Structure 1
Amino acid sequence: MKKIVIAIDGFSSCGKSTMAKDLAKEIGYTYIDTGAMYRAVTLYSIQQGFFSGNRLDEEKLRTSMDTIRITQRFNSETGRSDTFLNGVNVENEIRSMEVAGKVSLIAALPFVRHAMVPLQQKMGEEKGVVMDGRDIGTVVYPDAELKIFVTASPEIRAQRRLDELKAKGDTKSTFEDVLLNVKERDEIDSTRKEGPLRQAEDALVLDNSYMTIPEQKLWLLQQFHNVAGS
């Protein structure tokens, strides 16, 4: 069976990361969470005080990009990868609502994307990877052998995100707040000039609004075997 690059793109809170992680584990591939990389840059910006409300001092971030080191390491206890920012595990911190509310602003910056995309491309040079994000099939790996574009209604995505936050102990976020964040991120991600969220022409569309995780997993495995051979 040949090794391929699997690109999974789609809207926020569609469960892309979960499905990509599970698929990678099932087929023995390396999982790369590109969204986590942008979240790590966002967390760094928050920690360094580059934000005033939702306004970012872009110049301060621009001059600090060379000091930001982002890596992803396999966690044997969870069976998944954790994101490290300058050597510190920030997997939990980057999933907060504070980061979620600002990450689309960071990801829209050309100089940030120009720094992240080469790193992502290098990670997939030897193939055998499952990579998820917004522009994997259109910018990072336009020649990926298998491209999936994931979608679901904003309301369903907001509820999924809220359930995830509650499971992590968040008692402050409301459905209305999360839904607003989802819609705002959709708008920013889809209209930004650099690496906008859009479906690649040769991508397979997966609307998982009413799919169970087992159904989704079975569908993904079938598409993988169709392309990579059995």
Structure 2
Amino acid sequence: MSFVIAVDGPAASGKGTVASGLARELGLPHLDSGLLYRAVGRALQVAGGDPDDAAAATETARRLDPHDLEDPALRTREAGEAASRVAVHAGVRAALLDFQHAFAAQEPGAVIDGRDIGTVIAPDAPAKLFVTASPEVRAHRRWLQLKDQGVSLDEILADIALRDERDSARSTAPLVQAKDAVLLDTSEMTIEQAADAARRIVEAARARWETSLKGEASQKG
């Protein structure tokens, strides 16, 4: 059984930074699942399609190539908005499930961040974190990333509010904290403090997981 770390949370909460840091420290592969949806949305935009067209978005998701995730354009504000729009389609989510399941099944484990990792993609993950922060803090963080693109803080805050509503209200795999996920609010934390808190959460989860595996092995023996 692989040691999967599921890191969920809303946009700009710091989950990607936390997840990538854990992956580096533990030597595990990392998947930013949001890039999958960004890649679908970006591909639709390039082709002149509509992210709100469920059939077109689903077909695009089925044709997604892993190399598409390397496109720098996926980090733009426009790609993030398109990702949020295509992610509401059940067909898109179903098309990307196999990719994510295969990634999570790797040995000795993996770190995956997104919005439904601990609830849908890897519900049995030994370690689950739900990373969040206040809307104002998240908007400021995202603005620092995008201000060179001429975006105002007020625009980013409005985008954050819209994405939160869309992600939480969708009928398929809405953004919710898994019952067994540990809440990590990074509103008042530096990157280093958030990384340290996440590390301690994962260390505790791994200790419980290893103890459980030993117990199962002794029962079989």
**Shared fold per TM-score greater than 0.5:** yes
**Equivalent in 168, 171, 181 of residue 203 of structure 1:** 181
Quote the residue 2:19 is aligned against. 20
1:120 aligns with 2:80: no
Alpha-carbon distance in 2 for matches of 1:64, 1:40 = 9
Alpha-carbon distance in 2 for matches of 1:64, 1:126 = 25
- The CA deviation string for residues 160-201 of structure 1, in whole angstroms up to 9 with x for no partner, is 0010113xx32x100011001000000000010111000111
Deviation at 1:205, TM superposition (A): 0.2
Q: Which amino acid aligns with 1:145?
A: P
Quote the residue 1:43 is aligned against. 42
SS class of match (1:26): helix
1:89 aligns with 2:70: yes
Question: Which has the larger displacement, 174-183 or 214-223?
Answer: 214-223
Deviation at 1:102, TM superposition (A): 2.2
SS class of match (1:219): helix
Structure 1: which 5+ residue stretches go unaligned? 72-83
**Equivalent in 196, 206, 210 of residue 228 of structure 1:** 206
Q: How many residues align?
A: 207
- Give TM-score scaled by structure 1 length: 0.85
- Equivalent runs, 1:174-213 vs 2, <5 Å: 174-213=152-191
Let me know the Cα RMSD of the aligned residues.
Answer: 1.7
Q: Which amino acid aligns with 1:125?
A: A
Deviation at 1:58, TM superposition (A): 2.8
Q: Which has the higher strand share?
A: 1
Bigger Rg over Cα: 2
Quote the residue 1:129 is aligned against. 110
- The CA deviation string for residues 142-173 of structure 1, in whole angstroms up to 9 with x for no partner, is 0000110011111110000010113xx32x10
Distance 1:110 1:3, change over 3 A: closer
Quote the residue 1:4 is aligned against. 3
Distance 1:62 1:212, change over 3 A: closer
Deviation at 1:65, TM superposition (A): 3.8
Q: Which has the higher helix share?
A: 2
Percent sequence identity is 36
Deviation at 1:31, TM superposition (A): 0.6
- Give TM-score scaled by structure 2 length: 0.88
Q: Which amino acid aligns with 1:114?
A: A
Answer whether contact 1:3 1:228 (CA < 8 A) is retained: no
Quote the residue 1:108 is aligned against. 88
Distance 1:147 1:65, change over 3 A: closer
- The CA deviation string for residues 46-103 of structure 1, in whole angstroms up to 9 with x for no partner, is 011112xxx633333334443322x2xxxxxxxxxxxx31xx831x201111112221
Distance 1:222 1:64, change over 3 A: closer
Quote the residue 2:218 is aligned against. none
Alpha-carbon distance in 2 for matches of 1:25, 1:43 = 28
Question: Which has the larger displacement, 155-164 or 124-133?
Answer: 124-133
SS class of match (1:56): coil
Answer whether contact 1:5 1:129 (CA < 8 A) is retained: yes
1:154 aligns with 2:135: yes
Alpha-carbon distance in 2 for matches of 1:65, 1:30 = 22
